[in-house]
Amino acid sequence: MGKTHLATVLGYAACLKGFNVRFATAIEVVNTLVAAERSGRLKQALEGCRKPAVLVVDELGYLPLSRQGLHGLFQLINALYELRSEILTTNKDFANWDELFADENVAVPIVDRVIHHSHVYMLGGESHRLTQKLTN
């Protein structure tokens, strides 16, 4: 089982327990926040992200974030902090998030808030997709 599959299963389990869950890729979330900020609607966009009890953000760090996107992500993490549950998937270790975000002044508070009340699952091994392809 891979990280996206695990995040999907956890989100589905939350739905079965009656919780509202939103699933989106990191780049979708960031692009939404950047567009909202440009149009003066960032506060409303952040409120929309706070509506579900669980927000699943998939593939954080897969695509690089602009400075504006990074600040939008910080605002989102800060808005959800201690109020909503987040499930984040990434291929990056916490130790390398300063490289991921290219701004240590923002990376540190994001990591601080993300790990404060978290459960971290480190998945390893071969790629599920590659293994499946090689057996077919």
Cα–Cα distance measured from residue 103 to residue 43, given in angstroms and rounded to the nearest whole number: 23
Tokens 């499930």 sit on residue: 87
Tokens, residue 37: 């900020």
Cα–Cα distance measured from residue 119 to residue 62, given in angstroms and rounded to the nearest whole number: 21
DSSP 8-state assignment for residue 96? G
pLDDT computed for residue 117 by the predictor: 93
Low-confidence residues of the chain: pLDDT under 50: none
pLDDT computed for residue 127 by the predictor: 66
Tokens, residue 33: 């926040």
Cα–Cα distance measured from residue 105 to residue 58, given in angstroms and rounded to the nearest whole number: 23
Q: Which CATH architecture has domain 3-135?
A: 3-Layer(aba) Sandwich (3.40)
pLDDT computed for residue 63 by the predictor: 87
Give residue limits of the domains in the chain.
3-135
